[in-house]
Structure 1
């Protein structure tokens, strides 16, 4: 029964996110990116996992651009592999892959530990656990890490359930940044 609720909640959040006006989206993105930049600077994080956004996700590309100019910061993004992903250094060109996601080319360099992981969410439940697109890629990725980075969820508008919809393997946020 819980999974049915989770699916319905996911659909309603996606609907809300799809109907944000372009002006509103632009404004919300700017606010959230500024908050992320401030957090990264204050935490003195050096290895940052970001993502290449889909249309309903917070557009972190301006943050990627800013961070890449800093000599002491490494920017990583997911590279889909099997049922999850590995992290690769962000670099151009980007290629369109499965689920219409853009990715850089594969990299064989193993990054140091990531300090901060910025993760897009469709919604969150009452435990601040992630409701994503339902593929479980982020959950598997973090489950396979031997350490726990600081996890920040981003969302254009907060879509939060009053119920527990997550499973015990769903990842939980240390921070949630929305507008």
Structure 2
């Protein structure tokens, strides 16, 4: 796999997602969030890792708030630590940190075993492996986790290539939910 092919694919996916997010983003977000909620309920997940969305990612904030309000499952989000992140309970206030990503306050509380992880993607290759923004944070997180929860990729519009662009360490989806 040539890194330049992966980089080119990432760039084309980002452009496509930027274009997609200009039109009916609220509608598309709502549809994906509804499908994610249904999936979480069917899966009967008790501990869910979500994310604080950036512009071109599916806005999962309504889902995050709904799950917290129902109190049927624990909701965790990434908190950046060095070259990766740790899962912390979602709580307010959120502060903008590195790469412009919002995060809750740090917590020394160790997250219990995550059942389900909802992970944003820029693109997906022929092995259903994640092409992200290129920092490798999710890959390192799941590698260091020591177990593999059910992983669901999400994106506004599927950007997939039949080519294999991923490395061995790139994470793979169990499911993909998109508009």
Distance 2:147 2:17 in 1: 32
Distance 2:134 2:123 in 1: 11
Across the two proteins, how many residue pairs are aligned to each other? 179
In the alignment, which residue of structure 2 is the partner of 1:170?
170
Q: Structure 2 unaligned runs (5+)?
A: none
Superposed counterparts of 1:50-65, under 5 Å? 50-65=50-65
Distance 1:64 1:28 in 2: 17
In the alignment, which residue of structure 2 is the partner of 1:157?
157
Contact 2:47 2:114 in 1 (8 A): yes
Superposed counterparts of 1:116-131, under 5 Å? 116-131=116-131
Query: Aligned in 2, Cα 1:109/1:6: closer, same or farther, shift over 3 Å?
Result: same
CA deviation after TM superposition for structure 1 residue 57, in Å: 0.2
**Aligned-pair Cα RMSD in Å:** 0.9
CA deviation after TM superposition for structure 1 residue 22, in Å: 4.0
- 1:35-80 CA deviation, whole Å, 9 max, x = no partner? 1100111111010000000000000000001000122211100000
SS at match of 1:111: coil
In the alignment, which residue of structure 2 is the partner of 1:76?
76
Distance 1:82 1:59 in 2: 25
- 1:102-141 CA deviation, whole Å, 9 max, x = no partner? 0000001111100000000000000000000000000000
CA deviation after TM superposition for structure 1 residue 23, in Å: 4.4
4+ residue stretches of structure 1 with deviation over 6 A?
A: none
In the alignment, which residue of structure 1 is the partner of 2:148?
148
CA deviation after TM superposition for structure 1 residue 26, in Å: 1.1
Q: TM-score, normalised by structure 1?
A: 0.98
Q: Structure 1 unaligned runs (5+)?
A: none
Superposed counterparts of 1:1-179, under 5 Å? 2-179=2-179
